[in-house]
A and B are shown apart, each in its own frame.
Chain A
Amino acid sequence: GDSVTQMEGPVTLSEEAFLTINCTYTATGYPSLFWYVQYPGEGLQLLLKATKADDKGSNKGFEATYRKETTSFHLEKGSVQVSDSAVYFCALRMGAGGTSYGKLTFGQGTILTVHP
């Protein structure tokens, strides 16, 4: 079945450091890819997405590029802030119809802590 694998956490960085959170996927077909963020005590929010190969999703200084050849969707940010401390989830959604009904398949999540 479809699956998503994220790098193990937790990740601890100093403010203004460069962030990379690795995400790879396995899917039969061409999924859409997502990064969700969960701030402490809150539900999930969509951070960015990409729907086809070579698409780059970006939001709030975060970026991720859909790499079909390496089945990856790594999340990056050039300079993290304390307010970026959260749990980050990579997810995929398969395409049209069938029995997927828009089901999201998530990775296990990566806890990011940014210190001043």
Chain B
Amino acid sequence: SQTIHQWPATLVQPVGSPLSLECTVEGTSNPNLYWYRQAAGRGLQLLFYSVGIGQISSEVPQNLSASRPQDRQFILSSKKLLLSDSGFYLCAWSADYRSEQYFGPGTRLTVT
């Protein structure tokens, strides 16, 4: 069966520090991968999606970037965090664009 992992589960970082969040999927190949953010008091917003290794599409211009160095690995990064980057970050995968998206447990990021 397929599983999706995210780490770390929680993170507290100072403003201006770098960020790296990792997401890995097991039990499937060539998945579509997604990064969403849930800011306090707001809904989920799609940040990035990827349909293959090295293929990244950005939905919202921002302080963040994403990379997909391996088929089942999706990384969210920032060189310098802002207070507004605080939130709950969720990674998701799907077999293709028609299929259900399965979400990871999420990473709660607090920028202080």
Contacts and interface: CB of A to CB of B under 8 A. Distances in A.
A43 B43 contact: no
Interface in A84-116: 89, 91, 96-97, 100-109
Interface stretch (B11-19, B62-70, B72-80, B92-100): B92-100
Given A108-B42, A108-B43, A102 B103 contact: no
Contacts of B100: 46, 49
Given A4-B43, A97-B97, 8 more contacts: A6-B43, A44-B44, A44-B103, A89-B43, A100-B97, A103-B49, A104-B44, A104-B46
A23 B104 CA distance: 24
Contacts of B36: 104, 106
Contact of A102 (B42, B90, B97): B97
Contact of A109 (B43, B51, B59): B43
B29 interface: no
Interface of B: 32, 34, 36, 38, 41-46, 49, 51, 57, 59, 90, 92, 94, 96-101, 103-106
A43 B90 contact: yes
Contacts of A107: 43
15 contacts: A6-B43, A43-B104, A44-B92, A45-B103, A46-B101, A97-B97, A102-B49, A102-B94, A102-B99, A104-B46, A104-B101, A106-B36, A106-B43, A108-B41, A108-B42
A69 interface: no
A6 B42 CA distance: 11
B96 A102 contact: yes
A105 to B, nearest CB: 8
Nearest to B102: A46
A103 B90 contact: no
A50 to B, nearest CB: 13
